[in-house]
Structure 1
Amino acid sequence: MSNTELVTESLTEKQWKIAHDIAQNLTKDDTDVNEFKKAIAYLRNAVNQNRSDAISRFFKYLKTLVGNGRQIGHSGKTTDYYRSIDKACSDCLKGFQGDASTLLQILGWASRLMRYYKEAGPIGEVVTPVLESARQVEIARAISSHEFAVGQIVEAKVTAVKGNKVTYEILGTIRLTEKEPKKAQSFSEEQVVKVEILDIKEDGSPKKVKCAG
């Protein structure tokens, strides 16, 4: 299954609850979201290598992090982060029924929800966020299934050209309009090009891109 197909998958009510529970537990423990995203990146690589045993390898990886936290951690708190991630995943995913791609979706959402819960204040006062439109849901899922980074080169489809402005569409959902004075007139709608990510938003999605050709 490709990443594009992952974007269109929807989680069940039970799976959404798992994502929220993991996010809440990690937020309560003041876990570093970046350490959690590293664990998600490991699972993504495991899925790409061998989907059939990716989940078991992921849980073994978490145990390894906890056992070797002092040697591989960047600070005294890192081991605590590993313990929190291992416990949250083990507790909330007990009896998990689903494949590795679904787990990747759940954890991707959990990492995004951590930002929400952190900004929303005490967990007891948190109200589950409501996404306003189907498009927002699609964008959120696209972000959760990809790790974007500044300097990364990704494919984008040209959806509009107006003067020197080009609208790029990434993953079929994320649209950005940028000034491309040297390139705009050579582009045509529906053309697929390579763009470089110049900046990232708080939610992990691209904020600014430019043609990489």
Structure 2
Amino acid sequence: MMTISESTSETLTDRQWEIAHAIALTLVKEDTDVNELGKAVAYLRAYSNREDATSRFFKYLKTLVSNGRQIGHSKKTTDYYISIDKACSDYLKNISDAYTILQILGWVSRLMRYYKDAGVPIGEIATPTAPPVESARQAEIAKVAKSQDFKVDQILDATVTKINGNKVTYEILGTIKLTEKEPKKASSLQEGQTVQVTIVALKDDGSIKNVKCAN
């Protein structure tokens, strides 16, 4: 049986793990059948190589809710579909990548079984709130970060977009904006100037956390 401490770092970011945890808690509290979630996951997996996979998945969930009484064995089945649709809509609506959703829901299934088999007192655990809506810019930054393999000490071209005292704002790859303290460099830089920056630190999801001017 899976233990709650089983590593997820290879498959999910911290934020995605929180989402998986929240969906699992929500569905277990509502006594949702994990097998019904499995059917939804199977549908998404079947269409995962299509560009419209994610939108198809959410439409499919709505269809299950609408036709629950016809395709289910009891009223409980419809309730399961309602719970799954709401949980996925609340927590996954800002994720456009079908593969990422598959990874999250795979962990949701494992966690649901863990909570049920382990007899964890679910009622005593507070369900995390839905993550804040991700802006279009944040989504674009995440997309850029995912397409790159950033490394600490890597040197990148950047444009200086703003200088405020010793604080310099850099724009990297036309999308990523970072403001850093540059006490030794700020006075010699100009807005609009192209410089080279060195990656100092990365976030858990592999995106850039901090840089410094390398010029």
TM-score (norm 1): 0.52
Which amino acid counterpart does residue 106 of structure 2 have in structure 1?
G
Distance 2:93 2:37 in 1: 18
Q: Which amino acid aligns with 1:111?
A: S
Superposed CA RMSD: 2.1
- What secondary structure, in the 3-state scheme, does the structure 2 residue paired with 1:117 have? helix
Partner residue of 1:104?
Answer: 102
Higher Cα Rg, which structure:
2
What residue is the counterpart of 1:194 in the other structure? none
Distance 1:103 1:11 in 2: 10
Displacement after TM superposition at 1:116 (Å)? 1.1
Is the contact between residue 117 and residue 126 of structure 1 (CA under 8 Å) also seen in structure 2?
no
Aligned pair count reads 118
- Letter in structure 1 aligned against 2:98: A
Cα-to-partner distance string for 1:130-174 (whole Å, 9 max, x where unaligned): xxxxxxxxxxxxxxxxxxxxxxxxxxxxxxxxxxxxxxxxxxxxx
Give the C-alpha shift of residue 8 in structure 1: 9.8
In structure 1, the residue matched to 2:61 is 62
Deviation at 1:13, TM superposition (A): 0.3
The change in CA–CA distance for 1:99 and 1:43 in structure 2 (over 3 A counts) is: same
1:75 deviates by: 1.8
Q: Which residue of 1 is the match for residue 87 of structure 2?
A: 88
CA distance in 1, matches of 2:52, 2:75: 32
Structure 2: tracts of 5 or more residues without a match? 1-7, 127-215
Counterpart of 1:46 in structure 2 is: 47
1:8, 1:44 → 2: CA distance?
Answer: 22
Q: Name the residue aligned to 1:155.
A: none
Match of residue 36 from structure 2: 35
Q: CA deviation at 1:126?
A: 5.5
Q: Which residue identity lines up with residue 68 of structure 1 in the other structure?
A: N
Task: Provide the C-alpha distance between the structure 2 equivalents of 1:109 and 1:55, rounded to a whole number of angstroms.
Answer: 18
Supply the distance in 2 between the matched residues of 1:16 and 1:8 (Cα, whole angstroms). 9
Q: Report what 1:113 is aligned to.
A: 111
The structural deviation recorded for 1:121 is 2.3
Distance 1:122 1:84 in 2: 20
Deviation at 1:100, TM superposition (A): 0.8
Q: 1:124 offset after TM fit, Å? A: 4.6
Residue 123 (1) aligns with residue 122 (2): yes
Q: Amino acid of the residue matched to residue 26 of structure 2?
A: N
Counterpart of 2:53, as a letter, is A
Q: Which protein has the bigger helix share?
A: 1
Unaligned runs of 5+ in 1: 1-6, 128-213
CA distance in 1, matches of 2:100, 2:66: 27
% identical equivalent positions? 70
